Amino acid sequence: MRKLLFLAGIAGLLAPAAAETIRMRDGSYHSGEVLSADDDIVRIRFAENGLELDLKWDQLASGEAQRIRSRMATEKAARVKIDGEVIYTKSETIEGVVQEESADRLKLKSAKGVKEIAKAGIMRREKTKINALSVYTPDEFYASTSSRYDVATAAGNFELGDLCLEIALYVQAKEHFAKALELDPGWKARVEPRLAKAEAGVKELEAAAMLKEAEKLTAEDKLEEAVAKYKEIVEKYPGTAAAAKAADLAAKGEGDVTALKGEQKKEADKKLAKSYYDEMKALLGKAVAKKDLTFDDQRTYVEKGLATEILDNLAVRLKVDRKQLELDWKARELDEWKTASYGEGSWLLDPPDLAIEKGTSQDDLAKKRQQAQLIADLKKQAADQRKLVNEWWAKQNTTAKISWLTAYAAEKTMMIKPVEHANCSKCAGKGILGSSSLCLRCLGTGLDRVVSYK
């Protein structure tokens, strides 16, 4: 049942090229199929005689090359798009493919796995196009799409090999490019560069797998075996990313296992932090897209649910133990600090002190006494504005909302430096505009709240 549903979801993808009218530089028109194209050559099968010819782009009429290139780029981008849905509930937004549905429940396959959702809890659902690889593995996608290509022809194998390159299935890509060349040696000039990419990809995968084995040996304190494995990677897979790393680790391993382990942890922490930050940004984007949620709803989500959901999602995506992932995140050691600013929403976290009130010298005190009425008026205006939080929040654009929530998430859930402040960009830190108007951007505080976190 699930396989049938998956097949149905991709049924509209990757249809064979259709015949079209192609205008040549000499002014003639021909009916043909564009089989493939790259930076230099476009391959066309002409309907009138069945010939397949490789033409240079400048052999086509002016504007024709751009038309074909644009269309093929669009078609290529759509190759991994499938029909899906976005499901909105009170607590989350999930994107995926509905596998089963009854009167009161549905099963949705998403990047998090298969989840059963009660329809009573669904606030809204929308049909959309989604990236198939966010739901299915590359192998699943390949298994269900490969039948749409004519692998009895060089063109079919070339196109399928190109798709495999796109989704990092280098072994399959290599097989299809080799088959295309076997079926029609005339494809050599076009196949060989892609075949080289596929072979390089295969080597990268093999080297990366061997690197994991070596790192595991290091973690188990089998240093001599690990160093031997690192050297083997360097010798067997020169030029790969894994070989470059293995060379460095081999040198460190020969000197000090502690240094080697420290290097591994440092690298792992950097990768985990990047994944965490990326997932946080994605989830905050989904949160601010929910128009029915108030500012307090979104702030509460950041305080109580965001960090947990990030780790839940990463455990599924990275295929690691959830508890161990949380321990690794808590024990992270990072050199780089990131910064986030509350921007014009800094007044939500900072005390309601006005910049005009600051200062303790005798001159400052005398000036405050002279401006007592103005200060009182400004404080009342600021206090009134502070009550209109949801109205203010609704006027902010998506970028501003995500920035504010990022700063709040950092301050509430991460390691931070002492909070710093920058002058408000509108009033230059004065808190007022002119001689008596309250700066509505900072509500008189004159400051932007900035958080450094990791």
Q: Is there a contact between 355 and 429 (Cβ–Cβ < 8 Å)? A: yes
Tell me if 354 is assigned to some domain.
Answer: yes
Please list, residue by residue across 13-41, b when 16 or more beta carbons sit within 10 angstroms of its beta carbon and e when fewer do. bbeebeeeebeeeeeeeeebbbbbbeeee
Question: Do both 344 and 448 map to the same domain?
Answer: yes
Question: Do both 344 and 446 map to the same domain?
Answer: yes
Q: Which of 18-22, 108-112, 174-178, 206-210 is predicted with the least confidence, judged by mean pLDDT?
A: 18-22
Question: Do both 351 and 435 map to the same domain?
Answer: yes
Average pLDDT in the 107-135 region?
Answer: 86
Q: How far is CA 197 from the centre of its chain?
A: 24
How many whole angstroms separate alpha carbon 252 and alpha carbon 94?
44
Tell me if 55 is assigned to some domain.
Answer: no
Task: Give the chain's end-to-end CA distance (angstroms, integer).
Answer: 45
**Chain mean pLDDT for the chain:** 86
Domain with 118 in it: 80-139
| Other CB atoms within 10 A of residue 175 CB | 17
Give the pLDDT score at 257.
65
Whether 348 has a pLDDT exceeding 80, the answer reads: yes
Q: Which tokens go with 328?
A: 């690794």
- Digit-coded pLDDT (tens) for 23-68: 888 888 888 888 878 777 888 888 888 888 888 888 998 788 888 8
Give the pLDDT score at 183.
95
Q: Is there a contact between 93 and 86 (Cβ–Cβ < 8 Å)? A: yes
**Per the confidence metrics, is the pTM higher than 0.75?**
no
Tell me if 393 is assigned to some domain.
Answer: yes
CATH number at residue 128: 2.30.30
- Digit-coded pLDDT (tens) for 380-431: 998 999 999 988 998 899 999 999 999 999 999 999 999 999 999 999 999 8
pLDDT level of residue 361 (50, 70, 90 thresholds): low
Tell me if 389 is assigned to some domain.
Answer: yes
Question: Do both 135 and 155 map to the same domain?
Answer: no
Question: Do both 154 and 223 map to the same domain?
Answer: yes
Average pLDDT in the 147-160 region?
Answer: 92
Question: Do both 247 and 324 map to the same domain?
Answer: no
Examine the fold and report which residue of 292, 318, 333 is the final residue of a domain before the chain moves on: 333
Question: Do both 445 and 423 map to the same domain?
Answer: yes
Partners of 129 in the β-ladder: 83
Give the pLDDT score at 363.
64
Q: What are phi and psi of 433, to 5 degrees?
A: -110, 130
Whether 9 has a pLDDT exceeding 80, the answer reads: no
How many whole angstroms separate alpha carbon 439 and alpha carbon 350?
15
Q: How many domains does the chain contain in total?
A: 4
Question: Do both 295 and 383 map to the same domain?
Answer: no
